[in-house]
């Protein structure tokens, strides 16, 4: 039991389980899963599916935070990728292209653009030596402007059936977006575990100077991680724009950067770098989506739902804080002493 | 002899397993400038921390004006009359000079309780006039040069009716003229009856301004001397160890490799402000000792060799080929290794395990794609843990949990795992106990015998003469001379102190 509690994923998982169980109590049908028309349905599937874009962005965010970085431009990059995808499809369709060509062209163009954004961020941080929060603030502000240049200030609607599959399709009865998240997670986990990349990332995050002096080339690794972070935001942009069949340069991925940072923190990664958990960040993203769903399902008035969300987030973070655990233990010990004390007196 | 103001006796302080101070003492007299000397790690900083209430002594006592005091905080020490000016000016550059002087103890209006700015300015001017410093007290402190800021820091320290003024490395960021200014102020304060403790590592400044010197070595007192009666070479000898003068060179356990090829050769290698052009070569199988005091250019030279800084003149050859190093990774690829002086910040990665720390450099050299197998990593880690006698629970223990000596061994293991051609050791034994020191040294000699070249940087003469095949001494950022195998400590000392 003690070892179970000490596991870094214990508290994030406990928080998620608690949220889901609480929902189940409020709303008896909440945890039910159904198989209808060859698809899996239910609130749990819905939460996971809606969490997919945030989960992807959180994975990217985890990697930059692991090397003491930060990327607050992910929301803007998501909007750029979505817009590029919609624009590419519209252009190719206007040119008479059919079949799956527009699909693959859109994916390639959107991911390419997002990766470029990541490269820009990475170079500002490593070559120009800017503070990550400042470096990525530039694209956070300018990115939506860029996206609007492409979209000409319009919300681009996508009239192309194959593209809808990314965000709405099912594979083996399960939403396709979940496969995307699983694939990125698995690939990243393998890359970090089977190569030396994981070791280098942790070395840089824990002690950049010592890593440098041991020959770890942080100046190459760090930009690559920003590229990955950008690309994962781009992938999220594809899912989002496919889901709603349009690209809104202004509003797609609003405040996503904050949710992604929160997911990383909820998952138990150190925001100071070095110690990180990809699985934790996935759970963090699920917690955030579960919170949102909870707030809607228990019918919190929309004016106060941000306040409720903030309270719940604070509770979850508190539950995970080692310091809070110690204080609670001390409090319990004192309480039990007090209970025993009167018995000793004559 | 003037009256004794402060006497510290038998002060001892341990940090974990490290003995920082062992029976150190000090006597300060009114109207005297007293220099505290010692090498890195001699215990100067710890002694000052005890006097100023930053730390409490484990044993020993501090007597001020005949009364035993035990300051628990710097503020208490200040109230007792012991004021300190630290190396880094720790005032607020964004406040005015007057505000800095009175921060935390502003003069107040009698009725309203508001800050009396008029009085504060007048007091500030009067205080600075006492130091012959005429500056606008309303200007932001940050707009003045460091030297003036230092004076303000001193004025602030004096403001609280100080009996003892401690100046910790006050001259390290000042130029010649500013140092003279500072000395003038110190002399004026001395005439006013202040007892001043002056900590520095510049020998000439000690002789320029101090009346008396106390020397510490390895946390213990070596002696108290009158400056006028202590020649410079005797001072250096006291600092680095008296026994060195008679210590013999290392036993020649293998033929002097005077005909072995150069593994590394520097020709006129220089970096403006850090190192004057230097010629130096290290042969295979040779332990080349590099001596000199702090600031003589030892560490700067090592940084150039390892691609941490870029030389702006001269040439570097590794195994006969001219090379340009842009990054430590370049140096490592050529078979160089550097055990840095700052173990905690530049050496270990505290959050990683012993195993991960040991394989880090080797893995970095093989590239990120070709990961060493877990079995290989464990085998390597176990091999070096056994070889160097690293004491850890197991190889998955975070290095941060190990003692200093064991951490140093882990860093050494990291480099030995890369089987380097040239191992640069920058003060490898600093801050670690004697047993660990001996083990590290033995291993280095063994590897040298197998053909590895070693550049051994140390301020400890005894170590230097015992281990080196040849000794090069740096002084004032240039090569002061070179001594063959068999030289004794006295000869090295003469070069270091500059008596030749």
- Render pLDDT for B376-395 as a digit per residue (tens, 0 to 9): 999 999 999 998 888 888 89
| Tokens (6 digits) for A83 | 């817009």
B500: confidence class by pLDDT, cuts 50, 70, 90: very low
Calculate how close chain B gets to A274, using CA atoms only, in Å: 8
- Residues of chain B found within 8 Å of residue A8, distances taken between Cβ atoms: none
Pick from A212-216, B269-273, B295-299, B446-450 the range whose average pLDDT is largest: A212-216
- In tens, the pLDDT along A309-323 reads 788 778 777 776 777
Calculate how close chain A gets to B344, using CA atoms only, in Å: 8
- In tens, the pLDDT along A256-278 reads 999 999 999 888 888 888 899 99
State yes or no: pLDDT of A345 exceeds 50.
no
Contact B359 A206 (CB under 8 A): no
Q: Does B413 touch chain A (CB under 8 A)?
A: no
Considering the entire predicted model, what is its pTM?
Answer: 0.74
- In tens, the pLDDT along B426-441 reads 888 766 666 677 778 8
Please name the residues in contact with A309: beta carbons below 8 A apart, sequence gap of 6 or more.
Answer: A291, A292, A295
Contact B364 A195 (CB under 8 A): no
B252: confidence class by pLDDT, cuts 50, 70, 90: very low
Pick from A102-116, B83-97, B105-119, B312-326 the range whose average pLDDT is largest: A102-116
Cα–Cα distances (Å) from A226 to A59, A65, A164, A186, in that order, read 11, 10, 28, 19
B244: confidence class by pLDDT, cuts 50, 70, 90: very low
- Residues of chain B found within 8 Å of residue A192, distances taken between Cβ atoms: none
Q: Does B360 touch chain A (CB under 8 A)?
A: yes
> In angstroms, rounded to a whole number, what is the distance separating the alpha carbons of residues A81 and A232?
10
B261 vs B499, more confident: B261
A223: confidence class by pLDDT, cuts 50, 70, 90: very high
Question: Reading across the β-sheet that carries B422-426, which strands appear in turn?
Answer: B336-339, B422-426, B453-457, B287-291, B470-475, B478-483
ipTM of this complex prediction, to 2 decimal places: 0.83
Contact A207 B338 (CB under 8 A): no
Pick from B67-71, B148-152, B176-180, B380-384 the range whose average pLDDT is largest: B380-384
Q: Give the mutation candidate from A215, A224, A225, A276 for the B interface (greatest B CB count, under 10 A).
A: A215
Q: Nearest 5 degrees, angle CA B355-CA B356-CA B357?
A: 90
Contact B328 A215 (CB under 8 A): yes
**Mean pLDDT to the nearest integer, B320-335:** 91
In chain A, what percentage of residues exceed pLDDT 70?
A: 97
Average pLDDT along chain A: 88
- In tens, the pLDDT along A20-31 reads 888 888 888 778
Residue of A nearest to B334 (CA): A215
Alpha-carbon dihedral A176, A182, A184, A189, rounded to 10 degrees: -170
B420: confidence class by pLDDT, cuts 50, 70, 90: very high
- Residues of chain B found within 8 Å of residue A212, distances taken between Cβ atoms: 327-328
Calculate how close chain A gets to B328, using CA atoms only, in Å: 5
A246: confidence class by pLDDT, cuts 50, 70, 90: confident
- In tens, the pLDDT along A93-136 reads 888 777 888 889 999 999 999 999 999 999 999 999 899 999 99
Calculate how close chain B gets to A23, using CA atoms only, in Å: 39
Q: Does B368 touch chain A (CB under 8 A)?
A: yes
B208 within 8 A of B183, measured Cβ to Cβ: yes
A344: confidence class by pLDDT, cuts 50, 70, 90: very low
Calculate how close chain B gets to A243, using CA atoms only, in Å: 37
State yes or no: pLDDT of B154 exceeds 50.
yes
State the SS3 of A306-344.
HHHHHHHHHHHHHHHCHHHHHHHHHHHHHHHHHHHHHHH
**Mean pLDDT to the nearest integer, B470-474:** 89
DSSP class of residue B251? P
Instruction: List the one residue out of B274, B290, B296 whose CA is nearest residue B202.
Output: B296
- Residues of chain B found within 8 Å of residue A214, distances taken between Cβ atoms: 328, 332, 349, 360-361, 364, 414
Query: Which pLDDT value is given to residue B247?
Result: 40
Cα–Cα distances (Å) from A210 to A122, B285, B339, B351, B411, in that order, read 21, 27, 10, 12, 10
- Residues of chain B found within 8 Å of residue A216, distances taken between Cβ atoms: 329, 360, 364
Query: Which pLDDT value is given to residue B245?
Result: 41
> In angstroms, rounded to a whole number, what is the distance separating the alpha carbons of residues A338 and A236?
54
Contact A213 B328 (CB under 8 A): yes
Calculate how close chain A gets to B371, using CA atoms only, in Å: 5
| Tokens (6 digits) for A284 | 């963090």
- Residues of chain A found within 8 Å of residue B369, distances taken between Cβ atoms: 195-196
B17: confidence class by pLDDT, cuts 50, 70, 90: low
State yes or no: pLDDT of B230 exceeds 90.
no
| Tokens (6 digits) for B388 | 């160097």
A152: confidence class by pLDDT, cuts 50, 70, 90: confident
Average pLDDT along chain B: 84
Contact A213 B338 (CB under 8 A): yes
In chain B, what percentage of residues exceed pLDDT 70?
A: 91
**Mean pLDDT to the nearest integer, B186-210:** 86
Sign of the Cα pseudo-torsion (A240, A243, A248, A250, in order): negative
Query: Which pLDDT value is given to residue B120?
Result: 87
- Residues of chain B found within 8 Å of residue A221, distances taken between Cβ atoms: 368
> Residue B337: in which H helix or E strand, if any?
strand B336-339
Please name the residues in contact with B426: beta carbons below 8 A apart, sequence gap of 6 or more.
Answer: B298, B299, B302, B338, B339, B340, B341, B457
Contact A206 B352 (CB under 8 A): yes
- In tens, the pLDDT along B99-144 reads 888 887 788 887 888 888 888 888 888 888 877 778 888 888 888 8
Q: Does B338 touch chain A (CB under 8 A)?
A: yes
């Amino acid at each position: 039991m003690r070892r179970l509690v000490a596991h870094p994923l214990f508290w994030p998982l406990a928080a998620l389980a608690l949220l889901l169980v609480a929902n189940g109590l409020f709303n008896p049908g909440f945890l039910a899963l159904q198989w209808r028309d060859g698809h899996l349905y239910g609130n749990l599937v819905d939460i996971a599916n809606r969490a997919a874009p945030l989960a992807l962005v959180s994975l990217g965010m985890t990697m930059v935070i692991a090397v003491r970085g930060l990327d607050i431009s992910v929301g803007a990059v998501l909007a750029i990728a979505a817009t590029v995808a919609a624009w590419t499809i519209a252009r190719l369709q206007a040119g008479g292209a059919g079949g799956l060509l527009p699909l693959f062209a859109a994916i390639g163009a959107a991911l390419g653009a997002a990766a470029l954004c990541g490269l820009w961020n990475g170079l500002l941080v490593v070559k120009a030596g800017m503070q990550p929060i400042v470096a990525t603030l530039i694209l956070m502000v300018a990115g939506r402007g860029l996206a609007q240049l492409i979209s000409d200030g319009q919300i681009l609607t996508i009239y192309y059936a194959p593209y809808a599959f990314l965000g709405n399709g099912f594979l083996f009865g399960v939403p396709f977006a979940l496969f995307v998240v699983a694939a990125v997670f698995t690939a990243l986990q393998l890359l970090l575990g089977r190569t030396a990349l994981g070791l280098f990332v942790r070395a840089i995050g824990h002690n950049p100077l010592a890593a440098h002096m041991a020959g770890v080339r942080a100046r190459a690794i760090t930009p690559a991680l920003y590229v990955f972070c950008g690309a994962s935001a781009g992938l999220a942009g594809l899912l989002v724009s496919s889901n709603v069949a349009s690209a809104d340069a202004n509003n797609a991925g609003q405040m996503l950067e904050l949710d992604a940072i929160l997911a990383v923190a909820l998952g138990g990664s150190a925001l100071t770098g070095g110690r990180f958990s990809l699985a934790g960040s996935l759970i963090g993203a699920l917690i955030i989506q579960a919170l949102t769903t909870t707030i809607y399902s228990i019918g919190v008035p929309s004016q106060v739902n941000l306040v409720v969300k903030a309270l719940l987030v604070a509770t979850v973070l508190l539950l995970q804080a080692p310091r809070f655990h110690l204080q609670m233990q001390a409090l319990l010990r004192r309480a039990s002493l007090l209970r025993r004390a009167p018995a000793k007196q004559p | 002899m003037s009256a004794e103001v402060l006497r510290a006796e038998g002060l001892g302080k341990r940090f974990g397993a490290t003995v920082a101070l062992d029976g150190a003492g000090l006597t300060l007299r009114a109207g005297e400038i007293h220099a505290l000397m010692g090498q890195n790690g001699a215990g100067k900083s710890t002694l000052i921390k005890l006097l100023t209430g930053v730390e409490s002594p484990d044993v020993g006592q501090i007597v001020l004006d005949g009364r035993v005091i035990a300051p628990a905080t710097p503020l208490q020490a200040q109230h007792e009359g012991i004021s300190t000016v630290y190396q880094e000016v720790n005032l607020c550059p964004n406040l005015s000079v007057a505000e800095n002087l009175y921060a935390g103890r502003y003069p107040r209006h009698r009725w309203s309780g508001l800050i009396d700015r008029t009085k504060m300015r007048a007091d500030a001017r009067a205080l600075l006039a006492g130091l012959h410093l005429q500056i606008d007290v309303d200007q932001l402190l940050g707009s003045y040069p460091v030297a003036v800021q230092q004076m303000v820091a001193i004025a602030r320290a004096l403001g609280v009716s100080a009996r003892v003024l401690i100046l910790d490395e006050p001259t390290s960021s000042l130029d010649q003229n500013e140092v003279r200014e500072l000395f003038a102020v110190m002399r004026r304060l001395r005439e006013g009856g202040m007892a001043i403790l002056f900590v520095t590592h510049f020998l000439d400044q000690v002789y320029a301004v101090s009346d008396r010197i106390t020397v510490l070595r390895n946390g213990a007192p070596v002696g108290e001397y009158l400056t006028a009666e202590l020649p410079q070479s005797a001072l250096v000898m006291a600092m680095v160890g008296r026994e060195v003068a008679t210590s013999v060179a290392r036993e020649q356990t293998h033929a002097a490799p005077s005909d072995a090829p150069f593994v590394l050769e520097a020709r006129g290698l220089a970096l403006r402000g850090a190192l004057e052009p230097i010629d130096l070569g290290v042969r295979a199988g040779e332990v080349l000792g590099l001596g000199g005091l702090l600031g003589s250019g030892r560490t700067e030279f090592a940084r150039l060799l390892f691609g941490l800084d870029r030389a702006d003149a001269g040439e570097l050859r590794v195994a006969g080929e001219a090379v340009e190093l842009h990054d430590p990774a370049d140096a490592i690829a050529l078979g160089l290794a550097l055990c840095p002086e700052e173990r905690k910040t530049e050496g270990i990665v505290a959050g990683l395990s012993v195993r991960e720390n040991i394989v880090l450099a080797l893995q970095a050299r093989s590239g990120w794609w070709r990961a060493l197998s877990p079995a290989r990593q464990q085998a390597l880690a176990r091999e070096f843990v056994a070889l160097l006698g690293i004491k850890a629970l197991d190889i998955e223990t975070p290095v941060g949990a190990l003692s200093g000596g064991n951490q140093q061994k882990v860093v050494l293991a990291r480099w030995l795992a890369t089987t380097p051609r040239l191992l640069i050791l920058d003060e490898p034994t600093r801050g670690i106990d004697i047993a660990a020191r001996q083990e590290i040294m033995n291993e280095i000699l063994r590897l040298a015998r197998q053909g590895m070249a070693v550049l051994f940087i140390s301020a400890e003469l005894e170590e230097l003469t015992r281990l080196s095949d040849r000794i090069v001494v740096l002084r004032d950022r240039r090569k002061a001379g070179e001594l063959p195998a068999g030289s004794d400590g006295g000869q090295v000392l003469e070069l270091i102190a500059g008596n030749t």
